[in-house]
Amino acid sequence: MQQFIFSFLIGGAICVIGQLLMDVFKLTPAHMTVTLVVGGAVLGGLGIYEPLIQFAGAGASVPISSFGNALVKGALGEAERTGLVGVLTGIFEVTSAGISAAIIFAFLAALIFKPKG
């Protein structure tokens, strides 16, 4: 039960950061998501994001910042096994499920549905 509360609080807090970036710093949604992704990547590189996921579960892994973290995690994990080239080959290792699912299902949706106003 506690996990659900923490994921609500942390997930909500990350979304508030995004909202503040848009409202107070006047960023467009695209700039805001890019900022969060790069922020997540930096936190992932510093090794801070992984404990956050352990603590908040989906509250940390569902926001887009975890995408940046997952990219770094994939790159570093593969680099550990195969050396410097691993940074290139490993980047999409962890995020493959998310990106593949998004592409496949978005394409299927475009095949089946007509745009709704």
Partner 1 sequence: MSSNAQKKLTPAQLEYQAFVKKREPKRPVLKNCLRAFLVGGIICTIGQVFQWFYMTYFDFTETSASNPTVATMIIIAVILTALGVYDHIAQFGGGGSIVPVTGFANTLASAALDHRSEGFVLGVGGNMFKIAGPVITFGVFAAFVIGLIAVVLRGLGGS
Q: Of 75, 100, 77, which Cα lies nearest the Cα of 88?
A: 75
3-class DSSP state of 100: helix
* Contact call for residue 101 and partner 1 (CB under 8 A): yes
Which residue is it, tokens 């990106």? Answer: 99
Where in 26-85 is the site for partner 1 (CB under 8 A)?
29-30, 32-34, 36-38, 41-42, 44-45, 50, 53-54, 57-59, 61-68, 71-72, 74-76, 79, 83-84
* Contact call for residue 94 and partner 1 (CB under 8 A): yes
- Which of 25, 48, 81, 105 lies at the binding interface for partner 1 (CB under 8 A)? 105
* Contact call for residue 12 and partner 1 (CB under 8 A): yes
d(CA 11, CA 7): 6
Cα 31 to chain centroid distance, Å, stands at 15
